[in-house]
Amino acid sequence: MTVILLIASVMAGVFLGKHFGKKEKLAKNLLILSAGFLITICLNEVFPEVYTSGTGSNLGIFVIGGVLLQMILEALTKGFEHGHFHHHSEHNILPVALMVGLFIHAFIEGIPLANEEHDFSPYLLGIVFHNLPISFILGAFLFNRTEESKSAPSYPSLLIVALFALASPMGMLLGNYFNPDLQPYFLAIVGGIFLHISSVIIFESNKNHNIDWTKIGLVILGISLALVMHLFHGHSHMGHTGL
C-alpha cells in the first residue's frame, strides 16, 4: 500500500500539472497548503521521534545536514521543491540535473519508510502530500514547455517522471537492509529537508510585504489537516497497544 500511495501521488500530480500547468496560482496554492502540512508533520511527528530515540545528542547535526543537503540539491533542481519555476529560467534547467536532484531528494525521503509500522503514518502522508505540488510543477514543466517553444529540445519526460515516482519506493527498499539503529539519523536528515522546504515556502517574502490572507489561510488549513492526522494516528496507536 505504501508503494502504491507514493507512486500514485506523483502520477496524480504530474497529470494535474500536464492539464492545468499554466495555472501557476494553483500550483503555488498547493505548495503553500502542503508546506503548512509538512512543517506540522515535521514538528509533531519527525522531530519528536528523532529526539526521543535515545540515540544521542548529536542528531541535531544530521538535521542541519539535511538542510544543507537540500540547499545543494536546489542548485540542481532550481527550487522546484518550493515553486521556483519561473518561465524565464526554465531553459537554464538541464533535465539530467533536474532528474538527479529530484531523485536524490525523494530517495532519501523513502529510506525511513522501511521501518514504519503503520500503513498510513503521518510521515508517509507528509511525503504524499509533499509529492503532489512538486509533481504538479514537474508535469507542467515537462509537458507544457514544448508547447510554448517549438525550438525547445525533446526531454526524456517520461523517464524523469518514472524515476521520481520510483525514487522513494527504492529508498524504502534499500532502507530494509540498513541497521534499524540508523533510523533516527535518516529521519533527522529528512526532517532537515522538510524544515527547509516548508519554511522557505511559508516565510519567503510576500509581494510588497503585504499581508496575504489567502496564504495565511492555506497554511492554517495545511496545519489543521496535519493536526487531524496527528490526533487520528495517536488514537489509532493507542488502540493497537490496548490503551
Instruction: Please report the pLDDT score of residue 145 as a whole number.
Output: 59
Number of H helices, E strands in the chain: 9, 0
Short-list 235, 233, 17, CA closest to 144? 17
Q: For cell 509538512, name the residue.
A: 38
> Is the predicted pLDDT of residue 85 greater than 50, yes or no?
yes
Q: Which pTM was predicted?
A: 0.84
DSSP assignment of 33-63, as one string?
A: HHHHHHHHHIIIIIHHHHHTS-S-TTHHHHH
DSSP assignment of 169-190, as one string?
A: HHHHHHHTTS-GGGHHHHHHHH
Q: For cell 499554466, name the residue.
A: 22
d(C-alpha 114, C-alpha 102), whole Å: 20
Q: What pLDDT digit, counting tens, does each position of 174-203 carry?
A: 998 988 888 889 999 999 999 999 998 888
**Domain extent listing, the chain:** 2-240
On the 0-12 / 13-18 / 19+ scale of CB atoms within 10 A, 67 is: middle
> Is the predicted pLDDT of residue 236 greater than 80, yes or no?
no
Q: What pLDDT digit, counting tens, does each position of 210-228 carry?
A: 778 888 999 999 999 999 8
Mean pLDDT of 27-48: 90
